[in-house]
Structure 1
Amino acid sequence: MKRNSLRLLLAMPLIITMARADDSTITVWATPAAASRDIISSETLNDLEKHDVAEALSAIGGVTLDKSGARNELQVRVRGFDSRQVPVYYDGVPIYVPYDGNLDLSRFLTFGVGALEVSKGYTSLLQGPNQMGGAINITSAPPKKPLEGKIGYRQGWSRSHRNIRESNAAFGIKNDNGFLQLSASQLKRDFIALPHGAALAAGENGRRSNSAADDKKGAIRLGWTPGDDQYVFSWSKQDGEKQSPPYAGTDSQTPRYWQWPQYNKESLYYQGNTHIADKLTLKSRLYHDVFTNTLLMYNSAAALSKKQGTYSHYDDYSDGGGLQLSLDLRESDSLAFAAHWKKDVHRQKSGKNEARERYEDRTWSLATEYQRAISDSLDIVAGISYDWRDSVEGYRHDNSDGLIHYDNNTQRAFNWQVLTKYYPAPGDTLSFSLYDRSRFPTLKERYTTTRPAYSQTSLVNPHLKPERARGVDLSWDREITAGWRTEASLYYHRVSDAILSKTIDAQTLQNRNSGRVDYRGLDIGLRGKIGDYAELGVNYSLIANSVKETGKIIGLPGQTFTGWLNLMPWQGWRVSLSEEARSYSYSDSAGERQAAGFALTHLRLVYSPGYGLSFNTAVTNLFDKKYALTEGYPESGRQYWAGVEYVF
């Protein structure tokens, strides 16, 4: 079978020089033929001037930015599926907020990231539960040399004022016995500067009020590599602070000046890869993940200045582990089994001196995946899993200081999928997949009692069933000529038992399994080289949706486009020009507010004189376009960058 050419050429349908990242950075558990095609390397993140994981992921076909304007949070949608339906893994470890399943991906910086990997159609069930809409994996970049390091600093300006700065450093050593890696980074923003002519909230003068942010991360990774085995121990800590600018649109909304003095995350995890026998491999994983979040809610500028507001604090953690046993049956056949367990604990209080609410879920998953080479030109992969979730504790305090306990409950789900890959010519692949996957409702969906943004009461529903998606994907990856490739994907999926907020009366609602959503889409990509001095690529995605119940899908544009051009005119020089565009999207479920479509241009220039030294400069939103991902929350105008980096 044409395995080597297949490994090299199954890259993304995208905008980038999508060479597959080093295999040592890819920690997703899957059989080889089921591995994702959609991978962004760290070099590409730099070319596209992407500073956080959310922005970087939006470069992949079928992945769109999804912003909660009121909370100033960035998530992504993968072919329509939101962040609760698409799990995010860091080096294979699931990361999320245990209470609501969401995660502000703009808090995760791209420094130190080796690659970003997205599974969209077939998604290996060996990775764990809740992969209804695919999976996202963020992987660290391990040391590649006996001694290496880098240090960099960048300064940003907008509207003639310094408003943002970025600093980072990393150090690594490696030998035959293992490696040690240290890294630290910070991205600090004083304010968002608006495009000229953008709508302003009261009291603003070209700068968004209450728009500062500060994200810091430190990490240590220690690897032991006896023979062909590998054991990695990792620790990382992220300390974040952020603010949310007030609404500046045409709707009649009470302005909110919310602040998060804590948006912190700490992770400790272990990854192991043991070759038990010549054709038998055991992968192992353990993790402890902590999320701490403090929210201060001020509903006017006056309340902010007087520090008169309400308080919310989350103190959550997740413990978990997994095992995978893989057996190579023949040269190209493999069989794998996986077992996962995790415990999610959410602790919350609405006042510094108030008692805490506490909720705990435990989730298990058993999965198997089989890859079979039918012939030299045909592979088939099939996977099944059985997941179950137990709610073992749930209580809160009522208005009379009494306790309200919720009964324990259990939900179960069976998942299956199949993938065929046909190789009509060297380097060409035709893939077809069918799947039926699920995800369990979050703690918030089952137990929330309020919607503070709307002053409504929500009735709890502990016995919500899992949502389920059934879908089909047809993808074609073809080499047009030497150095040029194209890919096209057609897909359709239906979400049943979708969880929707049902209105009971003007002030009361409840989450119920009452919805159905259909998605239909097309992803097309083209990339290649123009001589020895230029690289070009384009990516276009089209998605349509229909909702059985009344309401619109929020934050999902029908069309997106990304294009790029890298020029290497002289030795040591690299010029990157990129374009991104998207059509309008709805900003509320009634479809009354829309974020208009837009197109943005970015420019980056790097000069490397040698000796490990390089200088870079960039302009994002080159033409100072007015745009918003959510109506009433305008984004940054023209932003200038200048920096220096030293690598040894």
Structure 2
Amino acid sequence: MEIRPLTLSLAATLAITGQLQAEEQTLQVWSSPIAASRDILTLDTFNQLEKHDAAEALATVSGVTLDKSGNRNEMLVRVRGFDSKQVPIYYDGVPIYIPYDGNLDLSRFLTSGLASLEVSKGYTSLLQGPNQLGGSINLTTQQPKKPLEGRIGYRQGWSRGERNARDMDASLGMKADSGFLQLNGSQLKRDFTGLAHGVTNPIVGENGKRSNSASEDKRGMVKLGWTPRESDEYLFSWIGQQGKKNSPPYAGTAAVQPRYWQWPEYDKQSLYYQGITALGGDFTLKSRIYHDTFKNTLLMYNSAAALRNKQGNYSHYDDYSNGASLQLAANVRDSDLLSFATHWKDDVHREQGSKNGPVDRYADRTWSLATEYQWAVADALDAVAGISYDWRQSLEGLKHESNGTLTRYDGNRQHAFNWQMLMKYHFMGGDTLSFSLADRTRFPTQKERYTTSRPAYAVSALVNPHLQPERAQSVDMSWNGALSELWRYEISAYYNHLSNTILSHDIDAQTVQNRNSGEVNYRGLDFGLNGAMGKKAKVGLNYGLIHSEVKQRSAGKITGLPRQTLTTWVTFNWLENWSMTLTEEARSASYSDNAGTRKAAGYAISHLRTDLQLGKGFSVNAAVQNLFDKEYALTEGFDESGRQFWAGLEYRF
């Protein structure tokens, strides 16, 4: 299905939304205020659009697309074409992306307990740290605004006439002049994914239940804040996540043996401190220290019989990252701001191929020095410019071979210089026009440098520890304007040139190796619209158009990247205590393999949610996802959920 521009124009007249309240968010992203992102989703938006995890929520932003790794059942995102390795993920500004391969399953991150999601697509402040080749994503956790507040919610899910899911969450916040305490807990458990009616392939599933599709995610958070002065704040946060998931087998057109993989452990913990200290009237010091862990156990069953007999392979990751950052900002003149930042981060990956087997170990140390200047050029013109120098050193590369020998890889060191600038002009009436240029990099992951996993049967991989950083030159022009007092829009045109791209090369018929040899161009358009139709309805639309051009024929197609995406929604408030939101999501076809032989067809699906306030803090809600029970897939051969019902009760105080 191709989404025609004419269809999008018609959809824009029919959609209604809740407005994003970016100005109300307190974010921990280190950046000059002029360069702050406008792409911020709030908790109210998550609920209105019925988004349970970070991946689903992020895909509603123009220029952000879901990119599903089918065999691993990982939900990733692309930002203006850049994949998950090229766009780092942060919790309150603290990096949490996986050290080994850079990928992070965002469907394991529940939206309950989050205050907002922020996406930086154009100018992305280098003060935030290294590896921001294609932008960044920040998950902001909740923080109390009242002396005492809390929330308890429970939701039950049904599919194919059976209860198949439950969603529970609770939060408690307390705030005083000297500080605050925030507690959160949540759980989302799915016994199975229901299939759309009409799906009859026995590999996909039987009796309407997707094979090997159960999952469970638990999350807890403790956030303690101390505010000894109005200008100072010190936060201590712990976030613990425990996940389990299965991967449904491939059931598409290719001659591929269905695999039934299971992750009994997908756990992540983040412990971090953040501080803001005013040093006199013109200087501010920001500081961070963090410890982040990731444990992942994979059981690989390569057939249904192997799953029944529990005969499969085993893989276990036990990774951690330690890091610290400092930023010093100085007010210069009346409206100028000069900032300096330094970052240190150690990443350690430990891997076992059997339960009692030896442990392979890889360790890297990364440093970054950055500075950024915000300049009020004139009353209506602002400018921001930043530069950074990053370097990364391999501390250890140790692998136990199958024949009992031990391999120690050569040490390696990479370095990179980054720069970017932004100009923003403010027109009468509040409209703004911004233009930015950037030249940023990403260091290769440990997996890209050291993996020897077989990419295909009878094919081996050569390591390449001396891979160099990927580099991207980006141009962005954005107009943010008002059609009236009730309607606003933003339109952005961009061009990204990715060079030194890491590609797999055929050395001979049995050997491949990763090398810096690729070039890719992404050019596109992002469009957003929001407003109100009287007092009873609000409207929203986010549309993304992107074209990718791969310079090397041997590199094949870009996978998981549709040409067009659309999210549009309408929220009706016919009564003061009752609302209803209708959401439409659509995307065009995308390639599912580099050869271009497998395609996931385009689709359009609808969702409906209604909320009723009962008074005294109580409310009830009900929702239907995939309202018309459409069969669709993000990756060919891996069907997504059919019609899903939800009903819930919530209490707030």
TM norm structure 2: 0.96
Q: Secondary structure at the match of 1:45?
A: helix
Does 2:398 match 1:426?
A: no
Query: Displacement, 1:206?
Result: 1.5
Match of 2:7 in 1: none
Query: Displacement, 1:157?
Result: 0.3
Does 2:602 match 1:597?
A: yes
Query: Displacement, 1:399?
Result: 2.4
Match of 2:13 in 1: none
Structure 1 runs (4+) deviating above 6 angstroms are none
Question: What is the 5 A alignment of 1:78-477?
Answer: 78-198=79-199, 200-202=201-203, 204-227=206-229, 228-451=231-454, 454=457, 456-477=459-480
Q: Structure 1 residues 454, 240: CA separation in 2 closer, same or farther (over 3 Å shift)?
A: farther
- Asked if 2 retains the 8 angstrom alpha-carbon contact of 1:516 and 1:547, the reply is yes
Whole-angstrom CA distance in 2 between matches of 1:455 and 1:308: 22
Match of 2:517 in 1: 514
- Asked if 2 retains the 8 angstrom alpha-carbon contact of 1:15 and 1:525, the reply is no
Whole-angstrom CA distance in 1 between matches of 2:41 and 2:526: 16
Whole-angstrom CA distance in 2 between matches of 1:154 and 1:483: 34
- Asked if 2 retains the 8 angstrom alpha-carbon contact of 1:155 and 1:641, the reply is yes
Match of 1:639 in 2: 644
Q: Structure 1 residues 436, 642: CA separation in 2 closer, same or farther (over 3 Å shift)?
A: same
Does 2:613 match 1:612?
A: no
Does 2:630 match 1:625?
A: yes
Deviations 1:308-362 (A, max 9, x none): 0000000000000100000111221100000000000000010011100000000
- Asked if 2 retains the 8 angstrom alpha-carbon contact of 1:363 and 1:388, the reply is yes
- Asked if 1 retains the 8 angstrom alpha-carbon contact of 2:68 and 2:74, the reply is yes
Q: Secondary structure at the match of 2:75?
A: strand
Query: Displacement, 1:277?
Result: 1.2
Whole-angstrom CA distance in 2 between matches of 1:259 and 1:188: 15
Match of 1:7 in 2: none
Match of 2:569 in 1: 564
Q: Secondary structure at the match of 1:477?
A: strand
Query: Displacement, 1:23?
Result: 4.0
Letter aligned with residue 208 of structure 1? R
Whole-angstrom CA distance in 2 between matches of 1:469 and 1:68: 24
Letter aligned with residue 652 of structure 2? V
Letter aligned with residue 447 of structure 1? Y
Letter aligned with residue 411 of structure 2? N
Unmatched segments (≥5 aa) in structure 2: 1-15
Whole-angstrom CA distance in 2 between matches of 1:183 and 1:406: 43
Letter aligned with residue 565 of structure 1? V
Query: Displacement, 1:15?
Result: 5.9
Whole-angstrom CA distance in 2 between matches of 1:499 and 1:139: 31
Query: Displacement, 1:436?
Result: 0.3
- Asked if 1 retains the 8 angstrom alpha-carbon contact of 2:18 and 2:571, the reply is no
Deviations 1:40-89 (A, max 9, x none): 11100100000000000001010000000000000100000001000000
Q: Structure 1 residues 89, 454: CA separation in 2 closer, same or farther (over 3 Å shift)?
A: farther
Whole-angstrom CA distance in 2 between matches of 1:233 and 1:526: 37
Whole-angstrom CA distance in 2 between matches of 1:32 and 1:215: 35
Unmatched segments (≥5 aa) in structure 1: 1-13
Whole-angstrom CA distance in 1 between matches of 2:171 and 2:540: 31
Letter aligned with residue 44 of structure 1? T
144-153 or 194-203, which deviates more: 194-203
How many residues were matched structurally? 635
Match of 1:18 in 2: 20
Whole-angstrom CA distance in 2 between matches of 1:15 and 1:93: 31
Q: Secondary structure at the match of 1:18?
A: coil
Letter aligned with residue 475 of structure 1? S
Q: Secondary structure at the match of 1:305?
A: helix
Deviations 1:251-293 (A, max 9, x none): 1101100000000001110010001111110000000000000
- Asked if 2 retains the 8 angstrom alpha-carbon contact of 1:21 and 1:115, the reply is no
Match of 1:530 in 2: 533
Match of 1:8 in 2: none
Whole-angstrom CA distance in 2 between matches of 1:198 and 1:521: 35
Whole-angstrom CA distance in 2 between matches of 1:232 and 1:455: 52
Letter aligned with residue 170 of structure 2? A
Q: Secondary structure at the match of 1:327?
A: strand
Percent of residue pairs bearing the same amino acid type: 63
436-445 or 519-528, which deviates more: 519-528
- Asked if 1 retains the 8 angstrom alpha-carbon contact of 2:284 and 2:328, the reply is yes
Q: Secondary structure at the match of 1:142?
A: coil
- Asked if 2 retains the 8 angstrom alpha-carbon contact of 1:450 and 1:456, the reply is no
Query: Displacement, 1:16?
Result: 4.4
Match of 1:74 in 2: 75
Query: Displacement, 1:503?
Result: 1.8
Question: What is the 5 A alignment of 1:480-499?
Answer: 480-499=483-502
Letter aligned with residue 503 of structure 1? D
Q: Secondary structure at the match of 1:303?
A: helix
Does 2:41 match 1:36?
A: no
Deviations 1:218-247 (A, max 9, x none): 111110011120000001110000000001
Query: Displacement, 1:453?
Result: 6.3
- Asked if 2 retains the 8 angstrom alpha-carbon contact of 1:15 and 1:562, the reply is no
Whole-angstrom CA distance in 2 between matches of 1:522 and 1:399: 50
Deviations 1:406-427 (A, max 9, x none): 1111000000001000012231
- Asked if 1 retains the 8 angstrom alpha-carbon contact of 2:180 and 2:225, the reply is yes
Whole-angstrom CA distance in 2 between matches of 1:453 and 1:503: 12
Deviations 1:593-641 (A, max 9, x none): 0000000100000000210000000000000011000000000000000
Q: Structure 1 residues 201, 469: CA separation in 2 closer, same or farther (over 3 Å shift)?
A: farther
Q: Which of these residues, 481, 503, 507, is aligned with residue 506 of structure 2?
A: 503
Whole-angstrom CA distance in 2 between matches of 1:72 and 1:238: 18
Whole-angstrom CA distance in 2 between matches of 1:15 and 1:321: 40
- Asked if 2 retains the 8 angstrom alpha-carbon contact of 1:371 and 1:382, the reply is yes
Q: Secondary structure at the match of 1:193?
A: coil
Does 2:56 match 1:51?
A: no
Whole-angstrom CA distance in 2 between matches of 1:608 and 1:237: 32
Query: Displacement, 1:21?
Result: 5.1
- Asked if 2 retains the 8 angstrom alpha-carbon contact of 1:15 and 1:59, the reply is no
- Asked if 1 retains the 8 angstrom alpha-carbon contact of 2:444 and 2:470, the reply is yes
Whole-angstrom CA distance in 2 between matches of 1:478 and 1:399: 62
- Asked if 1 retains the 8 angstrom alpha-carbon contact of 2:142 and 2:182, the reply is no
Letter aligned with residue 41 of structure 1? T
